[in-house]
């Protein structure tokens, strides 16, 4: 009989592969799993909010409905805080980072950076959204409050990263630097089951994902790369297919499974690009590299960039190795 592995079992079984195994990271991942289930449940009810409101049924506290991205932020923050495995948290939803400043949390060795609900503007139209997270070991001494430097570490220092995609099914994908595994949520049982072991992205894909509406603003290298994707050439299977949902986790998840490239470049409207280095690009880059793909800003490996600010934006090129390399060739060739 086929064995069904739950996420909880998998985390425990693989704890020994982690260089600093002490159980803390396992507990932290379990907290993310729990908060993810809560967020998943809230998202599932999103379309009902107006109907319930119209019929006069309010929630038990009589509260007005909160925006889901803020609710997701609160659910992750409170769940992670209540367990004591992290000393602080930075979120796309907050200007500054949170310091968990009591005896238990000051002794914790990890910090988390996250985008609690990415692509949340898509919820109204029933399109998949996601949570993205990233875990680092703090560099400030254990026993003291965390500092900004704990959060401004380059992506190559990540000890774990992952995302939840709330889509036609809900999936949690994560890495601790030992490959990538995906777990699909069974809502009847309330557990995540290993559905995508050892995920690998095809080296050469044929999907390109970019908001082409911004084409006139793109750097010449990106424009040339897009035209190259659209050229006819049987030997490289071109023209490629264009797929862009406008919800990073969903676009990324599809490209990870099928092979493809996601690009959010710099442009005259957004000189640094749109996506955030710490909350979006680093964790997604870690997963993509662990699956055999690549992620850069068009020139430099994303995970080698030295962060300067919590909410820093960077251009993002991420996906199948050969596709990213080809796009980088165009970026090197055309410098304006």
Residue 263 CB, nearest approach to ligand AHM (Å):
10
147 touches ligand AHM by CB under 6 A: no
85 touches Mg ion by CB under 5 A: no
Residue whose entry in the numeric block shows the structure tokens 């703090």: 138
Give how far Cα 314 sits from Cα of 134, 189, 271, 273, 281, Å.
Answer: 17, 40, 9, 5, 8
Residue 172: strand pairing partners? 164, 183
Find the binder of Mg ion among 69, 85, 115, 289 (CB under 5 A): 115
How far does the chain reach from its first CA to its final CA, in angstroms? 59
Whether the CB-CB separation of 119 and 246 falls below 8 Å is answered with yes
Find the binder of ligand AHM among 85, 118, 289, 328 (CB under 6 A): 118
Q: For ligand AHM, which is the closer residue by CB, 137 or 217? A: 217
Contacts of 235 (CB under 8 A, 6+ apart): none
Q: For ligand AHM, which is the closer residue by CB, 13 or 212? A: 212
Residue 193 CB, nearest approach to ligand AHM (Å):
26
Residue 124 CB, nearest approach to Mg ion (Å):
16
Q: For ligand AHM, which is the closer residue by CB, 212 or 231? A: 212
Find the binder of ligand AHM among 6, 191, 211, 312 (CB under 6 A): 211
86-91 and 110-118 strand pairing: parallel
119 touches ligand AHM by CB under 6 A: yes
118 touches Mg ion by CB under 5 A: yes
Please, is 2 exposed, middle or buried when counting C-beta atoms within 10 Å of its C-beta (0-12, 13-18, 19+)?
Answer: exposed
Task: Give me the torsion for CA of 167, 59, 69, 197, rounded to 10°.
Answer: -30
291 touches ligand AHM by CB under 6 A: no
Residue 245 CB, nearest approach to ligand AHM (Å):
8
Residue 68 CB, nearest approach to ligand AHM (Å):
11
Site for ligand AHM in 183-202 (CB under 6 A): none
Find the binder of ligand AHM among 35, 86, 248, 327 (CB under 6 A): 248
Question: Which range in 45-53, 74-82, 114-122, 188-196 contacts Mg ion by CB under 5 A?
Answer: 114-122
Residues near Mg ion, by CB under 5 A = 115, 118
Residues near ligand AHM, by CB under 6 A = 92, 115, 118-120, 211, 246-248, 251, 274
């Amino acid at each position: 009989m086929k064995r069904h592995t739950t996420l909880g079992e998998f985390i425990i079984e693989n704890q020994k592969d982690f260089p600093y195994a002490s159980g803390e990271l396992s507990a932290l991942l379990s907290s993310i799993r729990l908060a993810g289930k809560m967020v998943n449940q809230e998202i599932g009810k999103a379309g009902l909010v107006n109907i319930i409101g119209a019929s006069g049924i309010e929630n038990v506290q009589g509260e007005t409905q909160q925006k889901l991205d803020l609710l997701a932020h609160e659910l992750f923050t409170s769940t992670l805080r209540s367990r004591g495995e992290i000393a602080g948290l930075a979120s796309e939803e907050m200007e500054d980072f949170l310091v968990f400043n009591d005896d238990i949390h000051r002794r914790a060795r990890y910090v988390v950076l996250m985008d609690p609900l990415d692509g949340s503007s898509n919820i109204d139209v029933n399109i998949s959204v996601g949570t993205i997270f990233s875990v680092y070991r703090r560099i400030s001494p254990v026993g003291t409050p965390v500092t900004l430097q704990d959060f401004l570490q380059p992506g190559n220092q990540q000890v774990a990263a992952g995302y939840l995609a709330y889509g036609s099914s809900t999936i949690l994908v994560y890495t601790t630097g030992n490959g990538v595994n995906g777990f699909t949520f069974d809502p009847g049982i309330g557990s995540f089951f290993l559905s995508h072991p050892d995920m690998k992205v095809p080296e050469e894909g044929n999907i390109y994902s970019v908001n082409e509406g911004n084409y006139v603003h793109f750097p010449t290298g990106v424009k040339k790369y897009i035209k190259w994707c659209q050229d006819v050439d049987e030997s490289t299977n071109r023209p490629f297919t264009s797929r862009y949902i406008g919800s990073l986790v969903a676009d990324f998840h599809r490209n990870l499974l099928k092979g493809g490239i996601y690009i959010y470049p710099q442009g005259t409207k957004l000189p640094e690009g749109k996506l955030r280095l710490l909350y979006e690009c680093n964790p997604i880059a870690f997963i993509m590299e662990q699956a055999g793909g690549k992620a850069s800003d068009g020139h430099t490996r994303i995970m080698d960039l030295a962060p300067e600010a919590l909410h820093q934006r960077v251009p993002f090129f991420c996906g199948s190795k050969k596709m990213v390399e080809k796009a980088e060739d165009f970026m090197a060739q055309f410098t304006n």
